[in-house]
Amino acid sequence: MVLGASEGTGAAIVRSVARDPGLDIFGAHRGNHPEAAALLERDVARAGRRVVLRGGDAGTAEGARLGVEALLDVAGPGSVRLFVHSLASASMGRLAAGSGPRVAPRQVEKTFDVMAHSFLYWTQALVEKGLLAPSARLLGLTNSLDDSLVGGLGLIAAAKGALEAYVRTLALELGPLGHRVNLLKFPTVITPAVRKVYGEAALDRIVATHLKMIPAGRMCTVEEVARFVTVLAGDAGEWFNGATIDYSGGLTLGLADLLLDPGRS
């Protein structure tokens, strides 16, 4: 089950786990990318797996309740081996001071609902309905840039902090039931969310800065992230639990170097 299945990281993960380990797919999205969703359905079918993409807001408690009921209808109890939370919908703005608009309470609530609380709501509904398979893997996604903070993205960083706290607590609660709950931290990959956050005009500059920051000197891709998720979904991922797994390629390691060596910046 992948929330945010139609685009970006979620879509890449769907394609990857449909092939390896070969999972049927239940995905959620709001329907803003119908062509991408149709291509995804085609690719999963080509991999020989079943796919159900459900439209609607997955970022609320009610969305989770309805979504899990729909999943129960198509898949039955004990069927969810992997749950990936790949929703991206957030407000930007300063928190209290500085230039530009300040985030309003409604934006704070919505951002936390979609980016953090929905992970909890879906997990609660999955557990309540007995949908998790033995040794199920539950996975949240986060960005290594949240550690160093980017102007205007404070609300996203705060929601990711809440998501991390949910992951750790749920790992403790679901561990005795045999399940594993983790957070995967990876570097910037170019997706619709990233294009929206930074703006198309700034994209070349954003990529150029990343190329200086990342020791490997190249951008990470959604396919690389997705391939690693197949590892986490398999037996080799058994001992990750409550972890924030750093898959960031050392993105933030060279920040001080960039500041001290103007030739590189």
- Where on the chain is the footprint of ligand NAP (CB under 6 A)? 4-10, 28-33, 57-59, 86-89, 114, 141-143, 186, 188-189, 191-194
Smallest separation, CB 50 to ligand NAP (Å):
19
176: Cβ–Cβ under 8 A, 6 or more apart, which residues? Answer: none
Smallest separation, CB 220 to ligand NAP (Å):
8
Give the residue from 122, 128, 42, 133 showing the smallest Cα distance to 86: 122
Smallest separation, CB 128 to ligand NAP (Å):
20
Closest to ligand NAP by CB, 19 vs 160, is 160
Can you spell out the DSSP letters for 168-184?
A: HHHHHHHGGGT-EEEEE
Smallest separation, CB 184 to ligand NAP (Å):
8
What's the token pair of residue 184? 């995967």
Closest to ligand NAP by CB, 88 vs 214, is 88
Q: Cβ-closest residue to ligand NAP? A: 8
Residue 215 to residues 20, 44, 248, 257, Cα–Cα distance (Å): 29, 34, 10, 11
Give the residue from 249, 203, 226, 194 showing the smallest Cα distance to 25: 226
Contact (Cβ atoms closer than 8 angstroms) between residue 43 and residue 70: no
**Half-sphere exposure (Cβ direction) of 67: Cα atoms closer than 13 Å:** 31
Give the residue from 133, 186, 161, 169 showing the smallest Cα distance to 241: 169
Smallest separation, CB 108 to ligand NAP (Å):
15
Smallest separation, CB 191 to ligand NAP (Å):
3
42: Cβ–Cβ under 8 A, 6 or more apart, which residues? Answer: none
Closest to ligand NAP by CB, 204 vs 235, is 204
Closest to ligand NAP by CB, 47 vs 155, is 155
80-85: strand order across its sheet: 51-55, 25-29, 2-3, 80-85, 132-143, 180-186, 244-246
Closest to ligand NAP by CB, 7 vs 175, is 7
Closest to ligand NAP by CB, 35 vs 235, is 35
